[in-house]
Amino acid sequence: MTENVQPELPPGQSTGPSGPDAQVRVAACTTPVRIADPEVNADTLLTTARACDARLVSLVAFPELALTGYSIDDLFLQDVVLDAAEAALRRIVEASVHIQPVMVVGAPLRHAGRVYNTAVVVHGGRVAGVVPKVHLPNYREFYERRYFASGQGTEGSMIRLGEQHVPFGPDLIFVAEDRPGLVFHAEICEDMWVPIQPSAIAALAGATVLVNLSASNITVGKADTRRMLCQAQSARCTAAYLYTASGEGESTTDLAWDGQTSIYENGVLLAETSRFKPGARIAVADINVSLLARARGCSGIFAQCRANHEAQVVRFRHVPLHSGADTGFNW
């Protein structure tokens, strides 16, 4: 189920010249989807998350809108689908009490009278935060503005999930208290393809692991373009970059899907999975977060760039991910 470009390492070991260092094991997963059936998709996501747990993964990312499928078009505007997505997300949250990795799940959610394409961060029986997609493609085969609202302007917001109010916005950085060095930011698909990516500012604000949940239908040459973008973003930001795209089960009426996943560290490819294969696929790699921190510290340019963008950097909210399960999250 997993294809890595380098042998998987035991926790705590490094592939670099610095020797043993602080490591964070991460996974980028693509899973089969049954379109407009969040209950079945939740089962698939949980099965895959448990497989990652068995491999001692600390952070697992799933594709954009993995809970419903990306290719359901106007069904994103149907309450029956959105209600089912929230119910399925609640199941994932409840099950996460017994799953160690932090999960980043793609789901459509309603907020302030609009529908948002979001990355939901789940850990220890609670939703830590919800990140909405900022850049909505509306060209060629894409028409996301038909269904979704942009996350631009939602910085500092909260979203209500059941009886809880949860941080909502593209200005969230998640800090794992029980996993030293795991400081991550999530963005969604098109957010990586624009001139100034949300993850670039997040890196300046302290995120060392950047996550991209993508659907991204496949076209000629697009796989190589994705690799180039992920590698370049990882190198520019002196960060790890996790990328996961939709695959099996998405509608092929108009588009094709390949399920590409990859993990980069400071411009170096650590792991990827084969494309077009059926079933769930998991790319796993150990990120040397100590090495990334040292590389940033040695670069005066990184600090200078941070100072140049101070007004944007200071707006980020740092969300702690507490150790232990929270059984009191009242949906």
For helices 79-95 and 38-54, angle between their N-to-C axes, nearest 10 degrees: 20
* Residue bearing tokens 């969230």: 172
**Residue 221 near residue 260 (C-beta atoms within 8 A):** no
Q: Active-site residue among 29, 86, 187, 189?
A: 189
* Distance from C-alpha of 39 to C-alpha of 229, rounded to nearest angstrom: 33
Q: Is 90 exposed, middle or buried (0-12, 13-18, 19+ CB in 10 A)?
A: middle
Strand order in the sheet with 261-265: 268-272, 261-265, 240-244, 209-213, 183-188, 172-176, 317-321
Question: Among 233, 228, 237, 243, which residue's Cα sits nearest to residue 292?
Answer: 237
* Active-site entry in 29, 52, 64, 144: 64
Catalytic residue (one of 133, 187, 250, 265): 133
Indicate if 189 belongs to the active site.
Answer: yes
**Residue in 11, 55, 1, 6 with CA at minimum distance from that of residue 32:** 1
Q: Is 133 a catalytic residue?
A: yes
Show which residues are catalytic.
64, 133, 189
